[in-house]
Amino acid sequence: MSELSVNHLLGIKYITKADIDLIFETADHFKEIINRPIKKVPSLRDITIANLFFENSTRTKLSFELAEKRLSADVINFSAGASSVKKGETLIDTVNNILSMKVDMVVMRHPNPGAGVFLSKNIKASIVNAGDGAHEHPTQALLDSYSISKKLGDVGGKKVVIVGDILHSRVALSNIFALKLLGAEVKVCGPKTLMPKYIESMGVEVELNLRKALEWCDVANMLRVQNERMDISYFPSTREYTQQYGLNKELLDSLNKEIVIMHPGPINRGVEITSDVADSGQSIILNQVENGVAIRMAVIYLLASKIKQQ
Ligand code: CP
């Protein structure tokens, strides 16, 4: 297969294993290019991309922008805080105004779940979901699985535990879809109050005890508690959360094996993970960020190839 089965990347649940394999193969090629002295290719000189961020971001926004520029696309950036959204403009009006400027692709982060799907049904441009509320964050899941495959040789057959605020996490949901498609075994670990009711129906086991989860896994993906999505308290205090679900060096060193530590960022150092773990040799957190550029180049390149065929 040399093309994606979809015209948009709205979530991992809409793509196939063959799509992921193609994205990873393409990312391998771009990873090699971005490590050369001249890191840029002319592939997308005829493509214009708008990055629309209606919610804060550091990694995803910079990573997409760099990926687009490495592919020589024309790039425009939009942040809701400094826009006419503040004056009451609707999402469709905002996006249609941007599309009038002859934009081919929209990369969008939005606080509302389903915002990308809504846009794909209402405008003529290829949409990439850069995170929609607590729904999906597909490029994060792709770069996470890709980073596991680079570190351990394969994702299939590996045991991965996702730890923390599963209920509010688009990273958890997209990771579960991607890891299961690629044949990994997946557990989730965290307070019962932060476990969605449907989680076991996704073929994922719940383990409430962090030590047991770490003893079982090859890889632990530590998530941030999404305080901005909580309107009530889901655990007594941050201190108690850290005592039960925080990963520190003493716990890591007490396991009788080496596991791989991941985190999508931003990190709350000292809450879900201590600094000495985040910065340890077992952590691949910065490799995830580096791989993110190659993965986003691959996604944009493959979607743009489909636009060019239309
Ligand atoms: N991982 C991630 O989505 O980080 P940002 O919110 O900084 O983009």
Q: Both 254 and 300 in a single domain?
A: no
Q: Both 144 and 246 in a single domain?
A: yes
Q: Both 72 and 181 in a single domain?
A: no
Q: Both 165 and 250 in a single domain?
A: yes
In a domain, 6, yes or no: no
Kindly give the distance from the C-alpha atom of residue 227 to the centroid of ligand 1, in angstroms, as a whole number: 15
For residue 200, what is the domain's CATH number?
3.40.50.1370
Q: Both 200 and 246 in a single domain?
A: yes
Q: Both 48 and 104 in a single domain?
A: yes
Mutate to test the pocket of ligand 1, among 53, 55, 56, 60 (most ligand atoms within 8 A of CB): 60
Q: Both 21 and 41 in a single domain?
A: yes
Kindly give the distance from the C-alpha atom of residue 137 to the centroid of ligand 1, in angstroms, as a whole number: 9
Q: Both 186 and 112 in a single domain?
A: no
Query: Is there an atom of ligand 1 within 6 Å of 266 CB?
Result: yes
For ligand 1, atom 6, which residue shows the shortest CA distance?
57
In a domain, 187, yes or no: yes
Q: Both 54 and 89 in a single domain?
A: yes
For ligand 1, atom 4, which residue shows the shortest CA distance?
59
Mutate to test the pocket of ligand 1, among 53, 56, 57, 147 (most ligand atoms within 8 A of CB): 57
In a domain, 2, yes or no: no
Q: Both 115 and 227 in a single domain?
A: no
Identify the domain containing residue 227 by its residue range.
Answer: 138-285
Helical residues (DSSP H) of the chain, grouped into ranges: 17-34, 59-70, 91-99, 115-122, 138-152, 170-181, 210-216, 238-245, 249-254, 275-278, 285-309
In a domain, 90, yes or no: yes
Q: Both 72 and 204 in a single domain?
A: no
| Cα distance between residue 238 and residue 85, in whole Å | 34
Q: Both 239 and 197 in a single domain?
A: yes
| Cα distance between residue 290 and residue 284, in whole Å | 10
Sequential pLDDT tens for the chain (310 residues): 689 999 999 999 999 999 999 999 999 999 999 999 999 999 999 999 999 999 999 999 999 999 999 999 999 998 887 666 667 788 888 888 888 999 999 999 999 999 999 999 998 899 999 999 999 999 999 999 999 999 999 999 999 999 999 999 999 999 999 999 999 999 999 999 999 999 999 999 999 999 999 999 999 999 988 777 666 677 778 899 999 999 999 999 999 899 999 999 999 999 999 999 999 999 999 999 999 999 999 999 999 999 988 7
In a domain, 208, yes or no: yes
In a domain, 5, yes or no: no
Nearest CA among 101, 73, 106 for reference residue 91: 106
Number of structural domains the chain divides into: 2
pLDDT, position 164: 95
Phi, psi of 61 (to 5 degrees): -65, -50
In a domain, 75, yes or no: yes
Query: Is there an atom of ligand 1 within 6 Å of 156 CB?
Result: no
The pTM score is 0.95
